[in-house]
Chain A
């Protein structure tokens, strides 16, 4: 590796957008603690919205103990990258989630993120989602339908003007003046619908890879000219929670952070919360030791596969994918793709469908990294670990440069 390359890798590692500071110093945390305390005290004075159930009561009814709840609170505190001393505050914030109005809309989607949300974990998080958060509008989950539902949406927007979080699931088609996607009996286009609801939102949360980067609909040749929310909505804080589906823990994390602090979490230049997207899958992968030891699955069903060796050679994109699924996992932490010997497809990165889609090894993937291209095979990998890390960061930074420009326009 030449000096130039080493320099560029170093630069990428130290770029501001790629940095995750897990310890910001006592002064910072003390100030944050006081701010959260004041925020929660203010929220406490507000009445729960829509007579939602009491959180602790519903936990008891589900037969869960306070200890289970505190265990969840401390795990969530760690996930949000806050010191352990914040655990009681996080627990308090969870109880007060019923003060936060949420509107959830589905656009050009497959409803996969809503499905994932239903399988969120925690102390019977179904309770939190369905009973505690004031989900003022969600097409699939709410009781009313048809014209009644449309009215409920209008009422919620009017009533919670400037206060609600708008969750968007699905991409936005721009082709034929947006008519590839319309909503409601008046056939309002997805673009108009999103802009109208975003206007009065406190912040917009784009959930899943479709809403963040255009997702599958935006795959070449992008028949409907689909884009993500940040390409359409301007002048509002936007939080991107990519992945296909987005991990429900990260959705709850963003909500909780908002209840707790009254602000959106720290974001990277792709507008992803750093607590969830600050590290690569590779950094915390359960098969990482095998990567370091040079033990790989060469063919599915081989001895390497039986021994849970590293999936890099069968196309795992973990080294270049920023997400916390190696820690959080899916379906109540039962498993994740790498757990079943399927390499990561990089679903939380922009353009994954065209770049990473199937299990073609990274060497043959359609990726050009600023460090001089991807090495042909692991055997020629040289400084395997460092280079792989560099590539991940490089791709991240390259994409960030584009996204950074976008967020400046806001």
Chain B
């Protein structure tokens, strides 16, 4: 069979992408991922006050805006520390920031699961389902973003995190309201997603116990397994995480050996024919996201799936839904430990530094997000935003194809490749900015 190129539009993601598939001998040989979209947010930040990044960068993305806010505030705080100003966040400010971030990850994972993954799997397998997936997704995400808004004022696009802390000063009643909304989400997870209590779910630590998971997640795992899809979509088995959080420590994992990372070795480069820049670490490509976090932190169940299925779509999908349970569990602790009598903010609002360089990292829904800011004469002279999807969706280099591209190569149909592509939780607005 001759080589042929087919162009396909991918929607139902944040923005849209265009994929050019090259077929050879009936299998996909290469894929070009293009985004017909550019805003120039980094250019817009140049010449502005460093704190403007707190308002502008969340607008990079409607679905991970909060992660951008936290990365931006951390970049400023890091810059201040480098310039000799002690930050000293209170435990309260830390817990509130971690909780709101967890809420954002939760709504993302559930929306991806119900609005992208399940419908596309059903489409691929030609299953007609009576389920209203969108309704389930909105119920959960509405509830958890209400809990988020108690501390952040609104979602999307809140700006309540400031250098030295947070602006909110919740009462115990606010915390209790958030707890009750969180419990609503736990109930949804237990009754609808896994049909299994959170406690029992979290005790599952090996592939042999996966049958204990029922509900929509159980159904998905069953569909992937019984349709020979469990080993599809493998990439390079290389993972990277840049931020310390309860989900994972920073580090990189090549197959199963984990070592340290430093953002200084992150390199961005322009790609031919695309507005999205590619990213590499010491000239190598890495996958970032929940699977990377699971591998770097050696989460037992993720490791067990990896042992059986490598970095396949099965392991990748599992790692993301699994994070929902981890986030719910941790959020309970974060709320319980908020001490409302601690100060919210420890820095003077008027404190202004004229020269500094700072880096902020955060574990966003789709992986590590990095903000780097360089400030001279009181204004930003350079701002770099490196988003998770730039790692996963780059075209690659002369030596290697990109992470998602590699996972799609070898597929026998566009439908198959399309589904593999979506397991990465694609976001075009972040990738292209």
Contacts and interface: CB of A to CB of B under 8 A. Distances in A.
Contacts of A217: 39-41, 44
A358 B14 contact: no
B11 A139 contact: yes
Contacts of A150: 9
Contacts of A173: 38-39
Given A181-B36, A330-B154, A149 B9 contact: yes
B119 to A, nearest CB: 7
Nearest to A209: B59
B149 A331 contact: yes
A111 B151 CA distance: 22
Interface string B1-36: 000000111111111101000000000000000001
B400 interface: no
Interface stretch (B226-234, B240-248, B339-347): B339-347
Interface in A314-349: 314, 330-332, 334-342, 345, 347
A121 to B, nearest CB: 9
Given A223-B39, A245-B62, A335 B9 contact: no
A383 interface: no
Given A244-B59, A335-B153, A301 B343 contact: yes
B348 interface: yes
Contact of A335 (B40, B63, B154, B344): B154
Contacts of B345: 299-301, 305
A128 to B, nearest CB: 12
A337 B69 CA distance: 14
B10 A339 contact: no
B47 A139 contact: no
Contacts of B138: 118-119, 126, 130
A220 interface: yes
Q: Which has the most chain A C-beta neighbours within 10 Å: B10, B120, B145, B164? A: B145
Contacts of B344: 300-301, 305, 341
A301 B350 CA distance: 13
Nearest to A352: B55
B429 interface: yes
Contact of B162 (A111, A116, A245, A300): A300
Contacts of A330: 149, 153-155
Contacts of A202: none
Interface stretch (B165-173, B326-334, B401-409): B165-173
A169 B37 CA distance: 14
Contacts of B152: 335, 340
A185 B18 contact: yes
A335 B174 CA distance: 11
Contacts, number: 225
Contact of B168 (A118, A340, A347, A357): A340
Contacts of A118: 138, 141-142
Contacts of B192: none
B158 interface: yes
Given A146-B11, A147-B9, A111 B55 contact: no
B11 A224 contact: no
Place the interface of chain A in its size category.
35 or more
Contacts of B18: 185, 187
A111 B47 CA distance: 26
Contacts of B142: 118-119, 126, 331-332
B222 interface: no
Contacts of B195: none
B157 A139 contact: no
B127 interface: no
A221 interface: yes
Contacts of A212: none
Contacts of B164: 300-301
B10 A337 contact: no
Contacts of A147: 8-9
B195 to A, nearest CB: 21
Interface in A71-125: 106, 108-116, 118-119
A130 B146 contact: no
A301 to B, nearest CB: 3
B115 interface: yes
B9 A359 contact: no
A227 to B, nearest CB: 13
Nearest to A338: B153
Contact of A345 (B14, B63, B159, B165): B159
Nearest to A360: B49
A115 B63 contact: yes
B36 A145 contact: no
A187 B36 contact: yes
B36 A146 contact: no
A407 interface: no
A219 B167 contact: no
Interface in B326-374: 343-346, 348-350
B153 A111 contact: no
A342 B159 contact: yes
Contacts of B168: 340-342
B60 to A, nearest CB: 6
A298 B350 CA distance: 10
6 contacts: A109-B429, A115-B63, A119-B146, A149-B9, A149-B11, A245-B156
Interface of A: 106, 108-116, 118-119, 126, 130, 139-143, 145-147, 149-150, 173, 180-185, 187, 215-217, 219-224, 226, 244-245, 298-301, 305-306, 314, 330-332, 334-342, 345, 347, 353, 357-360
Given A330-B153, A335-B153, A337-B160, 4 more contacts: A187-B18, A314-B349, A331-B148, A358-B55
CB-based closest 10 A-B pairs? A223-B40, A112-B62, A301-B345, A182-B36, A330-B154, A340-B168, A111-B62, A337-B153, A331-B149, A300-B345
